[in-house]
Structure 1
Amino acid sequence: MHDLARIDLGRLTLFVTVVETGGFTAAADRLGLAKAVVSQQVARLERDLGVTLLARTTRRVTLTEAGEAFYGDCVPLLRQAEAVLDSAARDHAVPHGTLRVTASTDYAASVVAPLIAAFAAHYPALQIELIASNEVVDLVETRIDVAIRMGWLRDSSLHALQLGSFGQWLLASPAYLARAGAIERPEDLASHRWIALNLLSAPLHWQFERDGEAVPVRMRAPLRVNSPQVLHSLLLHDAGVSVLPDYLAHEEVLAGRLIRLLPEWALPRGGIYAVYPASRHLPAKSRAFIDFLKEFGAIPPL
């Protein structure tokens, strides 16, 4: 058995081409190389193997017995290598396999799931797994292809593409306001029942801005939750005042079930990002999904 592990596969290609074209000159013409280069590389292959593969005369090149046996081994090996390379190229060009996407639980349900339904219709052969989680997981370790992350990103070695942004709305139910009183300025919030979202880095500290004026407020929070969906439900059940992303609250505001408070006062906008592992070649499935998000929008129209 030939020890092919230590052989340069490029030299195998040169050798096979010489055999198939009938000589060094024709092989050099087919490959676009100098005849001397082809001859030298085949000679090095023979030296590495320790056998003579080709019998050379001034008129022709013929296979030796050892060369004929080696040629029979080489051809299927090279065809298999070509098939593997062709398959890898197709895989990079055409979405295939399983696309794993993660997003926060609220955004996955309200925005990402409908987008994935539309994306899946474009690529019916692609398997898609949506992981709804508020944990910031290691994308490489968990084999996540694309993460949709909200807010303000930390520095990392991951690639991030901003898809859009979202507003933060101050909200309460009509029944709560009827019971607790109107909120006319940010300072009024300090005396109201605040529902704190513990996922935030500073859930009790908020800064409102209007026409260059900045008003920081520290809230009093008898209720604390770790889920935007639970916060949303508590607001609807008249439990207090808090902030939700616009994409999670706009339907309730349009329907009158929640009231947007102090709309003339701005809270910082958060970013919406597609985050994916750093790689020289982005897989076709990830590239197609990110392009889809860019084209069709990552946030619903308000």
Structure 2
Amino acid sequence: MDWDKLRIFHAVADAGSLTHAGDQLHLSQSAVSRQVRALEESLNATLFHRHARGLILTEQGELLFDATRAMLKRLDAATARIRDSEEEVFGELRVTTTTGFGTLWLAPRLPKLYAKYPDLKIDLMLEERVLDLPMREADVAIRMKEPSQADLIRKRLMSVHMCLYATHSYVALHGNPEAPEDLQAHRLICQNPRSAQVGAAATLVNELMTNDISSLLTVNNYFGVLQGVLHDLGVGVLPDYLIRDFPQLVRVLPDVSSNEVPVFLAYPEELRHSKRISAFRDFVQDEIIAYRKTMKEQALG
């Protein structure tokens, strides 16, 4: 079977449109249509139902799409393994994590990784949606819960708690609340409980809201919450891993925190021997060890 025709068929099935597939493949709509028609003739089967709103796969088309998707997945994995040098770490590594962890913890530490592996190319994908690692939407993930997808290697990195923070200057000006009900006199800055986030954080915010908070600023990610806190807008709900990197923050109501949030690193089983994955995994683990050491020293000191 002609691989070019299969490749074009897959693009059309994925896009649901001849025009969009043509744009991705840098082919004209008529050229894409001819290739799909030729594939249907060679298989003696109709692969798409055509209507005004686009294309829908037939039952035969679904079968072929499942096959091409599996083929591309295997090709991606083979390509990744081929590109991994036995001696060097280079090439693209697609890393997915949450917006908060990616911007506030991971990105500031990446200079160390690039200093060690200057030929590595990181594609950092920050979003709350859990990308499908076995389907190669990303190479490696750091998530705030244990991944449930099959065929993944996973390692627990650390635990996080959501706590209340303000700046030293804010507390000096507005006072330090001594009990949760004292938050009535302060602006609370947090993620909207309805936004995508770990359940422990949403639970904590909902509990804080029962204190008749009069002034509120909600943001859809922790980077925005942090900016509000740093600019003395109020008391913010933030992950405790920030305290090392932002010494201007002070813990407010130290007895108030969320339940434990586990942080996991995960990658597909088929990338077990990837040099890029190994380099990134070891880098993150080393940074976690350094983070724990600093936190322990601060607690003792």
TM-score (norm 1): 0.55
Counterpart residue number, 1:119: 113
Contact 2:165 / 2:229 at 8 angstroms: preserved in 1?
A: yes
Contact 2:200 / 2:258 at 8 angstroms: preserved in 1?
A: no
String of CA shifts for 1:258-290, please: whole Å, max 9, x gaps: 331122445433222212124374423212321
CA distance in 2 between counterparts of 1:172 and 1:89 reads 49
Q: What's the CA shift for 1:93? A: 4.4
Moved more, 228-237 or 131-140: 131-140
The yes-or-no answer on 1:218 pairing with 2:216 is: no
Q: What's the CA shift for 1:225? A: 1.0
Counterpart residue number, 2:270: 279
Compute the RMSD of aligned alpha carbons. Answer: 3.6
Q: Which protein shows a greater Rg?
A: 1
Gaps spanning 5+ residues in structure 2: where? 1-77, 296-301
The yes-or-no answer on 1:161 pairing with 2:155 is: yes
Contact 1:147 / 1:276 at 8 angstroms: preserved in 2?
A: yes
- Secondary structure class of the residue paired with 1:285: helix
Q: What's the CA shift for 1:190? A: 5.6
Counterpart residue number, 1:188: 182
Counterpart residue number, 2:52: none
Cα 1:177–1:282, aligned 2, differ >3 Å: closer, same or farther? same
Cα 1:237–1:123, aligned 2, differ >3 Å: closer, same or farther? closer
Matched residue type, 1:277: P
Identity of aligned residues (%): 33
CA distance in 2 between counterparts of 1:101 and 1:298 reads 20
- Secondary structure class of the residue paired with 2:264: strand
Q: Greater helix percent: which structure? A: 2
Counterpart residue number, 1:130: 124
Gaps spanning 5+ residues in structure 1: where? 1-84, 208-214
Cα 1:128–1:109, aligned 2, differ >3 Å: closer, same or farther? same
Residue 110 of structure 1 is aligned with which of 75, 94, 104? 104
Residue 268 of structure 1 is aligned with which of 259, 267, 272? 259
Q: What's the CA shift for 1:181? A: 5.0
Contact 1:163 / 1:298 at 8 angstroms: preserved in 2?
A: no
CA distance in 1 between counterparts of 2:172 and 2:108 reads 36
Cα 1:167–1:260, aligned 2, differ >3 Å: closer, same or farther? same
The yes-or-no answer on 1:293 pairing with 2:284 is: yes
Residue 240 of structure 2 is aligned with which of 246, 256, 265? 246
Aligned pairs, number: 206
How do residues 1-302 of structure 1 correspond to structure 2 at under 5 angstroms? Answer: 91=84, 93-94=86-87, 95-141=89-135, 143-150=137-144, 152-153=145-146, 155-157=148-150, 158-174=152-168, 176-177=170-171, 181-189=175-183, 192-198=186-192, 199-200=196-197, 201=199, 205-206=203-204, 218-219=210-211, 220=213, 222-252=216-246, 254-255=247-248, 258-279=249-270, 281-297=272-288, 300=291, 301-302=294-295
Q: What's the CA shift for 1:196? A: 2.8
Contact 2:161 / 2:260 at 8 angstroms: preserved in 1?
A: yes
Q: What's the CA shift for 1:243? A: 1.4
TM-score (norm 2): 0.55
Counterpart residue number, 2:11: none
String of CA shifts for 1:19-44, please: whole Å, max 9, x gaps: xxxxxxxxxxxxxxxxxxxxxxxxxx
Contact 2:83 / 2:91 at 8 angstroms: preserved in 1?
A: no
Cα 1:299–1:108, aligned 2, differ >3 Å: closer, same or farther? farther
Matched residue type, 1:284: K
Contact 2:134 / 2:268 at 8 angstroms: preserved in 1?
A: yes
- Secondary structure class of the residue paired with 2:223: helix
